[in-house]
Structure 1
Amino acid sequence: MIYQIELTQQLNCDIQTAWDFFSSPHNLAKITPKDMEFVIVNDVPEKPVYAGQIIDYKVTPLFGVRMKWRTKITHVQHHESFTDLQVNGPYKLWRHFHEFMPNEEGVLMRDLVTYELPFGFIGRIANKLIVRKKLVSIFKYRYYVLEKMFNTQNQS
């Protein structure tokens, strides 16, 4: 079964600032919960993501189990969107579409995660009991960090 999680967040910044931050794989660790021990393990340039780019990392998603994960950037529309697709990792399918829409308040960021777990029925049970909750908690953490970074800087 294929699942989706869709999230939006208003960022009080211009499109260039949003794009520069989110299109750099080096910023992923800043918005990932520390207990996941996210580390990029291949040589990834500082420049923005590009179609065909491979990103290898190690992460500890559940139960202290360390795993390798490889994603490929499959599509980039400069200052608008990019998509990463899991090549190797824990999911049967993982596609993360990142979209950036300038508006009068800054930039509305939209994430659409499409995923499928392996193991059929067992995967469906794991999603219901553990995986979806974990993914939601990761994105809640990310939301909180981004609020602090982009939306509270100049407030007293």
Structure 2
Amino acid sequence: MAREFVLERVQMVSHLLGDVFQFYADPRNLARITPPWLHLRMASDGPLEMRTGLRIDYRIRPLWVPQRWTSEITVWDPPHQFVDEQRRGPYRRWHHEHTFRAVGDGTEIRDRVTYALPFGPLGSLAHAVFVRRQLEAIFAYRTRAVHDLFGASPRER
């Protein structure tokens, strides 16, 4: 079995829970909080109403290698949580929990990603050499982009 890794991030923003969740509930907004160097493009056609079972197709180019990514929404509990899981893409496993909680006049956004790479020991080596750092950079960019969209919570100022 492939070794699993976990990435967790918590961020506070100064907007109400409903507004923040509504932004995240539109899959097309992912491009707004994804680094441009990933070259993320939506490949799904038609309306994308979030719900359990929805599959969303993307195209990405990390390190200039074109890849397809298909996510499935496996948990949908508005406005508190949703989970997307990779069905096709570069990871052996990708399970991303998005959790939202009202805190005063703001919202706590929590990301928890459990992931595994293919190729056994080579995947673990790739994780140590560059994958972990790449994911850290992606989520650092996302934190800044969300901060720019929604502002920091009063506790972060």
Q: Shorter-chain-normalised TM-score: which range?
A: over 0.9
Identity of aligned residues (%): 34
Match of residue 27 from structure 1: 29
Match of residue 151 from structure 1: 151
Match of residue 91 from structure 1: 91
Q: Deviations over 1:10-64 (max 9, x none)?
A: 01101111111011101000000111110111125254x2100000010012x21
Residue type of the alignment partner of 2:44: N
Tell me the number of residue pairs that the alignment of Structure 1 and Structure 2 aligns: 150
TM-score (norm 1): 0.93
C-alpha distance in structure 2 between counterparts of 1:105 and 1:60, whole Å: 38
Q: Deviations over 1:101-155 (max 9, x none)?
A: 0011410000000000000100000000110100000000011111111116xxx
> What residue ranges of structure 2 are gaps of 5+ in the alignment?
153-157
C-alpha distance in structure 2 between counterparts of 1:88 and 1:146, whole Å: 26
The 5-angstrom pairing of residues 69-88 of structure 1 reads: 69-88=69-88
Match of residue 155 from structure 2: none
Residue type of the alignment partner of 2:136: V
> What residue ranges of structure 1 are gaps of 5+ in the alignment?
none
- Which fold has the larger relative contact order, with Cα–Cα distance below 8 Å and residues 6 or more apart in sequence? 2
Match of residue 16 from structure 1: 18
Matching of residue 102 in structure 1 with residue 102 in structure 2? yes
Match of residue 58 from structure 2: 57
Do the aligned partners of 1:44 and 1:55 also contact (CA within 8 Å) in 2? no
C-alpha distance in structure 1 between counterparts of 2:54 and 2:72, whole Å: 6
Residue type of the alignment partner of 2:60: V
Residue type of the alignment partner of 1:13: H
Match of residue 122 from structure 1: 122
